Structures are given as C-alpha cells and as structure tokens.
Amino acid sequence: MSEEPKETAGERLPGDLTKDQLIDRIIRVDHAGEFGAKRIYEGQLAILRGKPEAHVIEHMYAQELEHLKAFEKLMVERRARPSVLHPVWNVAGFALGAATALMGPKAAMACTVAVEEVIDEHYRQQSERLGQDEAPLKAKIDKFRAEEAQHRDTGLAHGAEEAAAYPLLTGAIKAGSRLAIWLAERV
C-alpha cells in the first residue's frame, strides 16, 4: 500500500496550529532569525573589519542577506506578520556579534557555530512539518539549512573550538538562540 503525500498540518490534533497559522509562524520566526543573523555579522564586522578574518565573515553575511530578502518577500506574498520584537533582535544581534568579536576572532567563530547548530535543528524541524503542498517553501528552508551548516563548518575550520571558554560561550549562545526562536514564533 503506497503512502499518500503528506500535507502541511494535515494530521492536526485539537489545539494544533492550522496550516495558515503554521506558515505564518514559520515565516515570522525565520525572518526574525535571518535578521538577527544579519545583525550578528554586522556587529562582528564593526569590530573585525580590516582584519584577516573579516573576509570569511563577509561571505557568510552576504548569504544571510540573501536569506533575509527571501523571507521579506515571503512575508509580503504570504501576508505573514513580523515579530513585534524586531527592535530587540536589532540590538541584541548587533551586541552579540560585537561582544564576541571583541573577545577575538575565534570567539566570533564560536558564536557562528553555536547559532548555526541551533538553526540547523530548527530548520530541520520546520522542513519535517511541511508537506508536498508547501514544496517551494520546504525547498527554500532546506537550501538555507545547508548554507547555515556550511557557516557552522566554516566557524569550526577557523578555530571556533579554540575560543576561551568555548563550551560555556557556545552553551550560553545556544540557550539564547533557542529562547529567541521560541519568542519570535509567538510574539
């Protein structure tokens, strides 16, 4: 017996999000996350511009801008509402980027690794929830997930694990990233 293609939010339980609510939430949180990533890299570049590591950060920053533009377009097309915490992501993202860059290039890379590990899991979960009826959105999320994994690998290749207090630093950033995702999904 062949299994029929899965539909987004097709097997809802009472209290689960409708398909429209789920799509709104996905676009809102991903827009907020890509905006936050943009601000993190802007904070890092404000400190590290002109240093050898800046070109690596600039490449990742350019990809984040592409991701952000895609979600800005989706917000309009799908009439998704943005997170009301946008001003918080603006300040917090830049501050996190600048603070880790002030700790040194390896700490900046540790920040990238921590954030991207959380985003990888987040995008994986979203992709699993999307059905064939949302194939274009699912493909976009899968593409961005692969690029975010490349960012993580880049951070590791540039000494992230050599940053001072790496487990503590990345643990704190991961916790903050998970909280930001939870908030942006809802507010």
Check which CATH number belongs to the domain holding 78 and give it.
1.20.1260
Any idea what the Cα angle at residue 76 is, between residues 71 and 78, rounded to 5°?
Answer: 85
* 172 in any annotated domain: yes
* 3 in any annotated domain: no
pLDDT 10s digits, 142-151: 999 999 999 9
* 14 in any annotated domain: no
How many domains, in total, are found in the chain?
A: 1
Look up residue 179 and give its two tokens.
Answer: 């909280």
pLDDT 10s digits, 85-127: 999 999 999 999 999 999 999 999 999 999 999 999 999 999 9
d(CA 31, CA 169): 25
* 2 in any annotated domain: no
* 13 in any annotated domain: no
* 10 in any annotated domain: no
Global pTM value: 0.91
* 4 in any annotated domain: no
Average model confidence (pLDDT) for the chain? 94
* 150 in any annotated domain: yes
Domain holding 148, by residue range, is 19-186
pLDDT at 126: 96
Look up residue 117 and give its two tokens.
Answer: 């590990």
pLDDT at 5: 52
Any idea what the Cα angle at residue 119 is, between residues 117 and 121, rounded to 5°?
Answer: 75
Report which DSSP code applies to 163: S
